[in-house]
Amino acid sequence: MGMIKKEVTTKLVLGGIFLSVLLLIIVVGPSDAFNLIINVIDNNVFEGDEVEFEVSIEIPDFERIPVEFLTLKLSGPENIICKFYSNGSKISGCDRLKIIPVMYSPNSQGYSYGYNSGSYYDFGYSYGFTKGKLKYLIKLDTSGMGNGTYMTDFLAMISGKEFSKNGDDLIINEKRKMIIYSPINGVLYTSRRIPINLTVFETADIRYLKDHREFRTVCRDCDDYGFTRLKRLPFDDGEGLLRLRGIFNDGSEVEEEIRFIIDTKNPKIKNTYPTNGFTNGLFKVEFQEENPIELIVNYGNLESGFNIGIFNLLECIESYRNRILCELNINLSDYSEEQIEYNFLLTDIRNESDETRIKKVNVDFDKPRLNNLDIEINKKRVKFSFNITEPNFQRIRFKDLSKRNPVWVTLCSRLKNGICEKTKIFSKGTHELYFEIIDKAGNVLEVEREVIIV
């Protein structure tokens, strides 16, 4: 009996000790029950490089920790305080950073006496099972960051208390630069051969690309070019585009793009419209010039006054043989049935110009008037008779819309006493004909479609 009482007493004492220790652990909490780790993979970089941090919180055996949030802190020329939850989602201050969870193995079994306090993980206390680990890869974009030394810290907020671990200092050096002395961005050059002149702040291989072709070598293992040796690159008139790239020994690169203007030729007006002494307000110009800045038409007369029409160069189109075609419709109602003078003036980016001689045209707004149309069909022969009122008649033309590829066919190019008579031969079948009557000023009368059966 005495032995039994002694064993019971011993068990009670041991149980009491166990409970006391357990309560002590619960009360004391997780002050030393985890390990913070921060590692800067490359702590000496140039501005614009990407820096990687490996950070983790290790939870030993027999522990569960309620992590409220984590923080990566950089203190230096500027301060970054990035707070994020245990699952990697950002809270604040993380604009420059990418957070990638790479490991999550918290304790999954055991006695949980924990409290989550609103945290993402209810670690609590766990006794006698596997430890856990939260690990993250954090990438920092240093573009635009101040140069200098930054202290790094990894912090964890646990149960309202903040714990931290210092990492290695991060050094951000001034961005590797390439200074281009020639060509200069936005400058106008009057020579087609442009010199290359540059400096880099570290030995590099220098390459160039023009005309959207492939990169070619300027020099190897050099830190400048164009001071003792001179290289000129040929460019055509127009916008010049040159990309210069420096490739350093560690494989990193710096690249600059320069846009400039080449203008070596004077502008040249090739063709103009109207050409037949009449206009309804449509003016056309065809010219050769890679860098036009203004195209105008001067027009008018002494009776009604003179004016200027300005072409929209953005609406011009490419024509054949590297020419540009521009059109402008002007309201000439103030000059109706009058004769006006006109000429064109083209100016380029160097203020060189080409001006046409003054011409005279008659202003005509009125469309031709169709008084009568007769059509006589005799087997395959069809006779057309138009009675027209138009003092400045040019032509009548038609399309046979029943054909697979309809084309314009001239019916008459002159009138006899206001009459156009013409006979055409058609194949058997139904033909849908579309007519236009055009005067010398470009006014067009569209005639209702006529259907004939041959």
Per-residue pLDDT of 429-443, as tens digits, reads 999 999 999 999 999
332-366 residue pLDDT tens? 999 999 999 999 999 999 999 999 999 999 999 89
C-alpha 86/C-alpha 100 separation (Å) is 11
**Check: CATH 2.60.40.10 for 28-173?**
yes
C-alpha 281/C-alpha 304 separation (Å) is 15
**pLDDT for 67:** 85
Q: What is the mean pLDDT of residues 183-194?
A: 95
Indicate the fold that domain 268-363 takes in CATH.
Immunoglobulin-like (2.60.40)
Question: Are the C-beta atoms of 127 and 111 separated by less than 8 Å?
Answer: yes
Has residue 120 got a pLDDT over 60? no
**pLDDT for 320:** 85
Question: Are the C-beta atoms of 224 and 198 separated by less than 8 Å?
Answer: yes
Band (pLDDT 50/70/90 cuts) for residue 108 is: very low
- 178-262 and 268-363 share one fold: yes
Has residue 212 got a pLDDT over 90? no
45-94 residue pLDDT tens? 988 889 999 999 987 655 566 789 999 999 999 999 999 998 999 999 99
**pLDDT for 75:** 97
Could you tell me how many residues make up the chain?
454
Among left, alpha and beta (phi > 0; psi -120 to 50; other), residue 211 is left
Question: Are the C-beta atoms of 36 and 161 separated by less than 8 Å?
Answer: no
Give me the architecture of the 178-262 domain, per CATH: Sandwich (2.60)
Q: What is the mean pLDDT of residues 272-297?
A: 96
Band (pLDDT 50/70/90 cuts) for residue 147 is: very high
Q: What angle do CA 285, 287, 292 make, to 5 degrees?
A: 105
Contacts of 279 (CB under 8 A, 6+ apart): 332, 340, 361, 362, 363, 364, 441, 442
What residue spans define the domains of the chain? 28-173, 178-262, 268-363, 369-453
| Closest to 433 measured CA to CA, from 407, 409, 400, 410 | 400
Average pLDDT along the chain: 87
User: In this predicted model, which residue has the larger pLDDT, 17 or 140?
Assistant: 140
**pLDDT for 27:** 44
**pLDDT for 1:** 52
Class of domain 369-453: mainly beta
Has residue 109 got a pLDDT over 70? no
**pLDDT for 321:** 84
Band (pLDDT 50/70/90 cuts) for residue 198 is: very high
Q: What is the mean pLDDT of residues 292-303?
A: 97
